[in-house]
Structure 1
Amino acid sequence: MKSDIATSEIAQPYAEALMTVAQSNNLTEAFGNDARSLVTLLNDSQQLRDFFDNPFILPENKKALIGRVLGDDTNAFFRSFLMLLVDKKRISVLSAICKQYLAILRQLNQTVLAEVVSAVPLNETQEQAVKEKVMAMTNAREVELEKKVDTELIGGVIIKVGSQVIDASLRGQLRRLSLRLSS
């Protein structure tokens, strides 16, 4: 089990190096899209994470898999960066590196990440309303939504922006009502 702090310490310099390469080649958004895709892929596939984490799998096999997963449409600089991670035996922290890169990119673009947990998937109108609410709260230029569905909320949403939490869920309202009635 890897420590989150140790992983973060390892990921930060690689994410910064990736950002430097991206900025010098005007590819920050393209790298951001590739990083988002990889984070989603790694979150969805335990088998892929296990493959990258396994020290007994030869680096050539990991590189071959990266080549197949990325396809031909991925930037050569980004592909080379991933191959470097394999050579340096840091491919197991790829998800953390990509997340750090995305955090740096959001900071550069004055974008805020808002985690939205809802009882049902949000439609475009509801997403736009959440974005506007977060923009008003944070004075950010853009808002990036990380959406999750939790059917136990019964209804409504929970919005997390940094350390701020707005609980507008039915479950939260019932909990607050219960606390008021019991005191």
Structure 2
Amino acid sequence: MAENILRSEVLDPYAQALMSLGKSNDLTDRFAEDVGNILDTLNGSQDLKDFIANPLAKGDLKREVLSQVFGDAVHPFMRNFIMLLVDRRRVMFLEGICQQYQRLYRKLKQAVLAEVTSTVELNDDQKNAIREKVIAMTNANSVEIETKIDPELIGGVIIKVGSQVIDASLRGQLRRITLRLSSSN
């Protein structure tokens, strides 16, 4: 419930505003690239996430740090957007706003996100095979693949697209065999 309120009251309006700015200036693709880089940076630094979320850190200090971190790496409009979030004390939601922008961008581009969990890192051929399978399943124009490693799967992959889950892992197959055996007794 609190997540829905957060999404509707904070994340959606800011992500929509960023999308609107991107559309009116033909920058939706560039903003998507910037948002991806911002999320990569945040996911790579727990210290930065903690700093942004710290209510005791002054706005001027946050502005300075974020300018140094993102500086010329993002479009000037994106940099101004981040500074606006600092000024409005909403920068702690930067990650969620970026994730929401990605959802809006995928919808705009008729793309889907496939979350793939495997035991080892997938090579390009495997990713392309998954991409083609997901396009066939969903009729999407393109597929973004987000990978996670889980050695407990034993082998195979789990693919999640929206609410659909395809469990092609050995762990999942063993679980299904166990269920069949236990129900036949």
1:42 maps onto 2:42 in alignment: yes
- TM-score normalised over the length of structure 2: 0.95
Query: Structure 1: which 5+ residue stretches go unaligned?
Result: none
1:41-80 alignment runs, 5 A limit: 41-80=41-80
* Rounded Cα–Cα distance in structure 2 between residues aligned with 1:111 and 1:70: 27
| 8 Å contact from structure 1 (residues 121, 149) kept in 2 | yes
* Rounded Cα–Cα distance in structure 2 between residues aligned with 1:146 and 1:104: 17
Structure 2 letter corresponding to 1:96: G
3-state DSSP of counterpart to 1:57 = coil
CA apart distance, 1:43: 2.2
Query: What's the counterpart of residue 141 of structure 1?
Result: 141
Q: Give the number of equivalent residue pairs.
A: 181
| 8 Å contact from structure 1 (residues 112, 143) kept in 2 | yes
Q: Which range moves more in the overlay, 49-58 or 153-162? A: 49-58
What's the Cα RMSD here? 1.0
Query: What's the counterpart of residue 112 of structure 2?
Result: 112
Could you list the runs of 4 or more consecutive aligned residues of structure 1 that deviate by over 2 angstroms after TM superposition? Answer: 3-7
3-state DSSP of counterpart to 1:56 = coil
Percent identity, please: 53
CA apart distance, 1:153: 0.4
* Rounded Cα–Cα distance in structure 2 between residues aligned with 1:37 and 1:72: 12
Structure 2 letter corresponding to 1:7: L
1:4 maps onto 2:3 in alignment: yes
Query: What's the counterpart of residue 182 of structure 1?
Result: 182
* Rounded Cα–Cα distance in structure 1 between residues aligned with 2:69 and 2:34: 11
CA apart distance, 1:5: 2.6
* Rounded Cα–Cα distance in structure 2 between residues aligned with 1:16 and 1:159: 28
* Rounded Cα–Cα distance in structure 1 between residues aligned with 2:11 and 2:23: 18
* Rounded Cα–Cα distance in structure 2 between residues aligned with 1:38 and 1:6: 24
Query: Structure 2: which 5+ residue stretches go unaligned?
Result: none
Q: CA offsets, 1:16-50, max 9 Å, x none?
A: 00001111111111110111111122223221111
